[in-house]
Amino acid sequence: MELASKEYATHTAYDELLDRELRPRTAALPLFDYLNSLNDGELATRQQAVDATIKAMGITFTIYSESGNIDRVWPFDPIPRVMARKEWEHIQAGLKQRLTALNMFINDLYNEQQIIKDGVLPAEILDSSTNFRPQCIGIKPRFGVWAHICGTDLVRDSNGTVYVLEDNLRVPSGVSYMLENRQIMKRIFPEVFRTTHILPVDDYPTQLYHTLAALSPRAGEQPVIAVLTPGIYNSAYFEHSYLAQQMGAFLVEGSDLLVDSDDIVYLKSITGLQRVDVIYRRIDDAFLDPEVFNPDSVLGVPGLMRAWRKGNVGIANAPGAGVADDKVVYTFVPQIIRYYLNEEPILANVPSYLCMYDDQREYVLANLDKLVVKPANESGGYGMLIGPRATHEEREKFAALIRENPRNYMAQPTLDISTAPTLVDGKLAPRHLDLRPFVLQSDKLYATTGGLTRVAMRQGSLVVNSSQGGGSKDTWIVEEGDL
């Protein structure tokens, strides 16, 4: 398989599959031997089969635009990302440690707030949090867990160090694409999966079901689980329907549910009312219950918070979990781990600067051409500034935003994040990528073996989000030399 030699000749980032001499890394060597056994025509045929499979399976995502919503076919690259199992086990341990501490942190914030009393987290951060829900104060959900499903974004720098970029604790998405990516690869490269040992990911729906079922208030009975979606126009609707189908759960909208005078949640069906035990909600807090949050919401269920507060229904992720899904709170996660677990963090954060502090703000303002600046509560790659690639006018605009609301902004160095060979015009060219594993917690902890690898399909781009031109790859966790 031919490399895009001009791009690799000037390449400086750490490559997931190739070393500095452009030789396959140990874990990826069998993959490259296999790829080299295919001629260009065979690989092109496989790429065409990938595209046809995605269309046949109906794998899409939605882009919102001023001219209307646009459904697009899921962009997928057939060259997988490969990681050694030994490294992955280290990462898995760090992911579980992180979510355990974050759930203890959220539970503390809505109850004793001891971390603030002890001076570990400044009170001003909580006071100015847009995702702290006073309506949740005093609630202690089952197992003390608020964020049952977490998608943690990881990146690797030019030295090969893996960092946590952010934690997604509100309504994390993307896991269905991780699962579908694997199914596509099994269809297109069946011979590889027959002769190699790639750790599976297809147990996720079962693990998700057990995570949710553990939240049921009716012990000993088969729980009734519903996936609450905003509807068909939501960008992640494919995922909502996919996961509901895989778990054997009901896919519902707010109008399909009601809460009776005894604060019990029911599903309206053609055979009558059926009690619902657990809701996997895929809508934001603000729209969840018009009695408590946004009174104009038509997406939620009136009375749902009453039912949850009384313990009559489980909700995942719990309302209010987003208080820890804040890029300013993110900078305190190492201290949070030490505080609650008395352990050193297994995975490091990207070094960060908080604009709420005068000295750090002045540094950021003086170095906007070198930094990535992020708002505290945006997602999907929106609202941020990549300083080295921004215009003077864009940097000036961000400087004004930072001065106006410093609590809302933090900054990080512009990492030369890792790349992997990606099929571009029939050749393998380096493209930057990240990785989103998924972690589940209720009565048990589970982390996926791998995750959703998102790749920036444009040369030099660092933005991997599908809504902004990114694509994805399958992620293979293997024993070194085991392929």
The per-residue DSSP string of 163-227 comes to EEEEEE-SS---HHHHHHHHHHHHHH-HHHHHHS-----TTHHHHHHHHHHTT-SSTTSPPPEEE
- In terms of phi and psi (left: phi > 0; alpha: psi -120 to 50; beta: otherwise), the region of 469 is left
pLDDT tens per residue across span 76-110 = 899 999 999 999 999 999 999 999 999 999 999 99
Residue closest to 101 by CA, chosen among 162, 145, 151: 145
What pLDDT is recorded for position 368? 95
Exposed, middle or buried: residue 40 (CB in 10 Å: 0-12, 13-18, 19+)? exposed
pLDDT band at 30 (very low <50, low <70, confident <90, very high): confident
What's the DSSP call for residue 477? E
pLDDT band at 381 (very low <50, low <70, confident <90, very high): low
What's the DSSP call for residue 321? G
Mean pLDDT of 150-170: 95
CA distance 440 to 447: 6
What pLDDT is recorded for position 419? 95
CA distance 62 to 153: 21
Weakest mean pLDDT among 161-170, 395-404, 461-470: 461-470
CA distance 64 to 43: 33
Residue closest to 349 by CA, chosen among 166, 89, 100: 166
Sorted by where each begins, the domain ranges of the chain are 351-413
pLDDT tens per residue across span 198-241 = 999 999 999 999 999 999 999 888 999 999 999 998 888 989 99
* Alpha-carbon distances, residue 381 vs 113, 243, 322, 371, 463 (angstroms): 31, 24, 17, 15, 7
CA distance 26 to 319: 44
What pLDDT is recorded for position 64? 47
Name the fold adopted by 351-413.
Dna Ligase; domain 1 (3.30.1490)
pLDDT averaged over the chain?
91
pLDDT tens per residue across span 131-148 = 999 999 999 999 999 999
